[in-house]
A and B are shown apart, each in its own frame.
Chain A
Amino acid sequence: GAVVSQHPSRVICKSGTSVKIECRSLDFQATTMFWYRQFPKQSLMLMATSNEGSKATYEQGVEKDKFLINHASLTLSTLTVTSAHPEDSSFYICSARALPGLGDLGYNEQFFGPGTRLTVL
């Protein structure tokens, strides 16, 4: 199946610093990537939708200046958490949407990365 990687898998940083998380589709091209955030024992919450070559679309309540998204190529999207604070500590998950028919179940499927755990001290 299609594979999506994230780097780093885990990061610890000091308050006030910025952290960049990479999301790569390894064996397919993805015109659209998605960024989610997950708090312990809670749902994945969509933060933004990232289309290659254009500005990301952010969900209501997500600060676009706080969470910078760049989708410069068909295989890479990055999320930068700027001036991170302890309340930004969370599990960040990306997904990439394959072209129609690529998914095993014949659906326009999102393929998910393994996630990045961010801890801000």
Chain B
Amino acid sequence: GDSVTQMEGPVTLSEEAFLTINCTYTATGYPSLFWYVQYPGEGLQLLLKATKADDKGSNKGFEATYRKETTSFHLEKGSVQVSDSAVYFCALSKDSSASKIIFGSGTRLSIRP
């Protein structure tokens, strides 16, 4: 079945470091891909998305490119801040109305000042 695999955490970085969180997926057809972020005590928020191959999603300095050849959607940020500390979830959906979202297990990111 369809699934999402992302790197296990926790990931701890110093402020201004470069961030990569790996995500790969298994799915038939052409899913849409997402990154969600969950800040402490809050609900998941959609961070960025890409709906077709080679699309790049970006938001708040984060980027991810839909790579169909490697079935990947790695999350990157050039210079992280303490406020980026959160849990990040990679996800996919094959439904255009996003009814059914399949999530990865989440990666906890902690940024040291």
Q: Which A residues lie at the B interface, using CB under 8 A?
A: 1, 4, 32, 34, 41-44, 46, 49, 93, 95, 97, 103-105, 107-115
Contact = CB atoms under 8 A, between A and B. Distances in A.
A105 B105 contact: no
Contacts of B17: none
Contacts of B79: none
Contacts, number: 56
Contacts of A114: 41-43
Contacts of A111: 43
Interface centre among B41, B43, B96, B97 (most CB of A within 10 A): B43
A44 B89 contact: yes
B43 A49 contact: no
Interface residues of B, number: 24
- Which of B44, B48, B96, B103 has its CB near the most chain A CB atoms (within 10 A)? B44
B43 A112 contact: yes
Given A42-B105, A46-B100, A97-B98, A112 B44 contact: yes
